[in-house]
Structure 1
Amino acid sequence: MLEFKNVEEYIDAFRRNSQLAVVSVQMAADYRGVTRAAIERMIATEQLEVIKIKSTRCIKLQGLIDLAEAFEHQVQIARKYLEEAAVAQTILFYEQVMQALGLSRTVPADRTKVGKVLGRVSEISFEKDGILLSAIVHRKTAGHTVPGPGFLTLAEELGLEWDDERTFADEHVKRVFDHYAKGSRRKRS
């Protein structure tokens, strides 16, 4: 943790190194869409760096930017992986996606992260093509498989409605496969 005795000392250091830009803990929480407690956990696990100015703890801005860029990189990896599966008309399981992202199913934070990544992938595909690409990522279960509950939560947030969850999920899998089948036919032409 970097510490400065007063604001003047911090500003002098910032003039020499703009990488010392900071935001408050609350601003970091607002930016990440999480609680202050979540930011505190990120500080404790050294995912974010603290700069102390007098008695005020701040978060180094570059750390927040780095986390956002790493997340967007994971979104790109997941999107490409899902698109390849959609072209092949293949259902994926969460564990496969997690492996592609270098995440572990045994780590609770990784399970949360894959849900956020898949949610962002579907937000992008819904905005761009009117489909929920993550519909093809399912839970491993005996018999008929379906996406996890986060899929339905996102669909609801996007204003979609349904009477039967299973039918809704099946329809979206078909829409994804149809969309990518058309795209792969166009590429071959």
Structure 2
Amino acid sequence: MKTFDDATTYLTALQDQPKLAIIPISFAAEIFNRTPRTIKNWLRDGKLKGISIAGEQFVRARSLYQMIEERNETVLAVKKRLIEMLVEGRNHVFYAEIMQEFGYDYKLSPDRDEFGWILGYVSRSSHIEMEKELGKGQGGLLSSMVWRKDLDFVGPGYWGLVTSLGYEEPDDDDAEEFVSAHIQRCVEYYT
């Protein structure tokens, strides 16, 4: 981690080296939906690069952008893989299997959180893509096919995504029909 004794020294260096632009840890935490402690751990572990000014830590903007770009690449790869599974005739996959394919460990809470975010983004993407082409109300949630093994069904986080996209959460009797309808929409659209 690059260290500066004070803000003036940092600003002087920034004029010559724009790659030293920084973002507060709290902003990075908000962007990644993590705690500031997690961001500090990522800085410590080298997952993000940082700068220290007068003892206060910041995240290098360039490092943050690189991490966002990597995350977006993962979202596209997961979406592509789920579509491949649909083409193969699979209508669901368990979290542990798909997570492992992308280097995540289902047993680790931070990995589950990150992968849940990825799946949410995949579903938002598929929903928007399908509605744009097929019309309002015709979107499909691609993450409908990712299930928890212990439930043999979608997990509770799925329903938060559903309501965030403007759907009403179905009651227990209609939940299976809702999920099946979204899987079917995706099968019809992507295969």
Q: Aligned residue for 2:144? A: 135
1:147 shift after superposition: 1.7
Distance (whole Å) between structure 1 residues aligned to residue 184 and residue 50 of structure 2: 48
Q: Aligned residue for 1:83? A: 83
Q: Aligned residue for 1:179? A: 189
Q: Is the 8 A contact 2:140 2:183 kept in 1?
A: no
Distance (whole Å) between structure 1 residues aligned to residue 58 and residue 100 of structure 2: 34
Q: Aligned residue for 1:54? A: 54
Alignment of 1:3-14 (within 5 A): 3-14=3-14
Distance (whole Å) between structure 2 residues aligned to residue 35 and residue 111 of structure 1: 15
Distance (whole Å) between structure 2 residues aligned to residue 48 and residue 88 of structure 1: 37
TM-score, scaled relative to structure 2: 0.83
2:42 maps to a residue whose letter is M
1:68 shift after superposition: 0.6
Q: Aligned residue for 1:184? A: none
Q: Is the 8 A contact 1:135 1:176 kept in 2?
A: no
1:146 aligns with 2:147: no
Aligned residues: CA RMSD: 2.0
Kindly tell me: are residues 71 and 31 of structure 1, through their superposed partners in 2, closer, same or farther at Cα, counting changes over 3 Å? Answer: same
Distance (whole Å) between structure 1 residues aligned to residue 158 and residue 126 of structure 2: 13
Kindly tell me: are residues 35 and 106 of structure 1, through their superposed partners in 2, closer, same or farther at Cα, counting changes over 3 Å? Answer: closer
1:7 shift after superposition: 2.3
Percent sequence identity is: 30
Distance (whole Å) between structure 2 residues aligned to residue 115 and residue 104 of structure 1: 12
1:57 shift after superposition: 2.4
TM-score, scaled relative to structure 1: 0.84
Aligned residue pair count: 179
Distance (whole Å) between structure 2 residues aligned to residue 138 and residue 111 of structure 1: 13
**Partner secondary structure for residue 106 of structure 1:** coil
1:141 shift after superposition: 4.2
Q: Is the 8 A contact 1:25 1:57 kept in 2?
A: yes
2:178 maps to a residue whose letter is F
Distance (whole Å) between structure 1 residues aligned to residue 114 and residue 18 of structure 2: 30
1:88 shift after superposition: 2.4
Distance (whole Å) between structure 1 residues aligned to residue 102 and residue 69 of structure 2: 14
1:65 aligns with 2:94: no
Q: Is the 8 A contact 1:131 1:172 kept in 2?
A: yes
1:160 aligns with 2:161: no
